[in-house]
Chains A and B, each alone.
Chain A
């Protein structure tokens, strides 16, 4: 109980920590963009009339959602080099986050697409549009709007999952703070600060999501 708080190492390391926050942001944003692409692409393939393609997507989703993220990132970082694919920690982390988030995004977005009434597809087809055009121009936006809250909470989770990338020493907040902690042994001060930083990062993410929503999903419904 006679522990004296000493934030000096944290203050000295502040520039490093702030840069590391930017690293975390980069991982999160890039991972999310990749997850969106995988999510939408996966939903399109999942609806393909070609059965093996559908099975491929189902298999991918099951594989990713039923294995730990840490193992997935280790697999890309340590196992793939044996197959000749060697990536730096940061690209590895982005790919792992994108693949992991993408698998969840597929299921979430698919729910959104299913929630759109069949009449929308029929109206598009009756106007002479192709199925792909109908999906892209008519179905996608209302579908994304319908599941936007679930998708954003999944993406907040993805943002926090970036901390696991410290296991392969990607440049982000947790790994940099671990270094400061192991040099100074000021565990409480370091993790207290890092916790606050993660809170701020999540809050900023939520602001970005809300801003996006107010820009793109502002049309009235009912």
Chain B
């Protein structure tokens, strides 16, 4: 619990990366990433595929190892030892493109597993928490169903609830709507918008520019493993400074 005390310091960013570099063999996936996210801030990360945006957020909870630089989350320095990695993972929720719900567990069990096994909650306590959060993502009536019985949009909302059951200080979204049929995108985005309005610190890798406009405090554009440009959404969309940003926006907005 001493981690909570640390993050109470409001001047300290919730998440900060300094000089982070990552290589796959000779290929440089991340190039000197410096980034700081304040408590309650919402960041949208965008960029062409292969630009390193997913790799970047996966480094924040150490699903990917990085070779250079430092990452701090909620006052904890993410080292390479399993102790700090576990501590950080308990503080940061993640939502994946492919939902990754556990197929052999019901929706409720999906939400209860980690709070019980990782935080040590009692069963009743975990169930209480799970039902409250399933209510919040408006899917409580599906609690006893299995993931395969739900639509993609419902599964992703459950995945969001499952992550929230850990009471994370920040949430990472890795293209949460990219695997969804178009008619299901909205229900997931609405859930994320509601979460943002409650003050959650969020980093979202997404191509949903409407979401970025509505929710983001800053939009960060990446290309070739480096941060090219960052700006508040109004400025980012109306007045992009870099040629690569303009080209990307032209392609992605032209599609819609």
Contact = CB atoms under 8 A, between A and B. Distances in A.
Contacts of A119: 96, 98, 100
Contact of B118 (A122, A123, A129, A141): A129
Interface in A124-148: 124-130, 133, 137-138, 141-142, 145
A222 B105 CA distance: 14
Contact of A128 (B63, B105, B149, B166): B166
Classify the interface of chain A: helix, strand, loop or mixed: helix
A138 B96 contact: no
B114 A129 contact: yes
Given A219-B146, A219-B148, A220-B149, A123 B102 contact: yes
Contact of B89 (A117, A126, A137): A126
B117 A221 contact: no
A195 interface: no
Contacts of A128: 86, 89-90, 114, 118-119, 166
B149 A127 contact: no
A142 B166 CA distance: 24
B55 interface: no
A129 B117 contact: yes
Interface string B87-104: 001101110101011111
B249 to A, nearest CB: 30
Given A220-B146, A222-B148, A126 B104 contact: no
B162 interface: yes
A130 to B, nearest CB: 7
Interface residues of A, number: 22
A151 B163 CA distance: 35
Contacts of B102: 120, 123-124, 138
A119 B159 CA distance: 13
Contact of A221 (B90, B93, B114, B148): B148
Contacts of B149: 220
Contacts of A145: 104
| Best-buried of A117, A119, A123, A125 by chain B (most CB within 10 Å) | A123
Interface in A102-130: 117, 119-120, 122-130
A128 B188 CA distance: 24
B96 A142 contact: no
| Best-buried of B61, B102, B113, B166 by chain A (most CB within 10 Å) | B102
A151 to B, nearest CB: 17
| Best-buried of B82, B96, B114, B166 by chain A (most CB within 10 Å) | B114
A138 B98 CA distance: 16
A120 B118 contact: no
Contact of A127 (B89, B104, B105): B89
A119 B162 CA distance: 15
A123 B148 contact: no
A137 B113 contact: yes
Contacts of B98: 117, 119
B209 to A, nearest CB: 26
A137 B82 CA distance: 19
A126 B148 contact: no
A127 B103 contact: no
A220 B148 contact: yes
| Best-buried of A119, A123, A128, A221 by chain B (most CB within 10 Å) | A128
A106 B92 CA distance: 36
A150 B159 CA distance: 32
Contacts of A133: 117-118
A116 to B, nearest CB: 10
A122 B103 contact: no
Contact of B104 (A117, A129, A141, A222): A141
In the A-B complex, list the 5 residue pairs whose CB atoms are closest, starting with the nearest: A127-B114, A123-B100, A128-B118, A128-B90, A126-B94
Interface of B: 61, 63, 82, 86, 89-90, 92-94, 96, 98, 100-105, 113-114, 117-119, 146, 148-149, 159, 162-163, 166
7 contacts: A122-B100, A123-B100, A126-B63, A128-B166, A142-B103, A220-B149, A221-B148
Given A120-B100, A142-B104, A220-B149, 11 more contacts: A123-B101, A123-B102, A126-B89, A126-B92, A127-B89, A128-B119, A130-B82, A130-B86, A137-B117, A145-B104, A222-B148
Interface of A: 117, 119-120, 122-130, 133, 137-138, 141-142, 145, 219-222
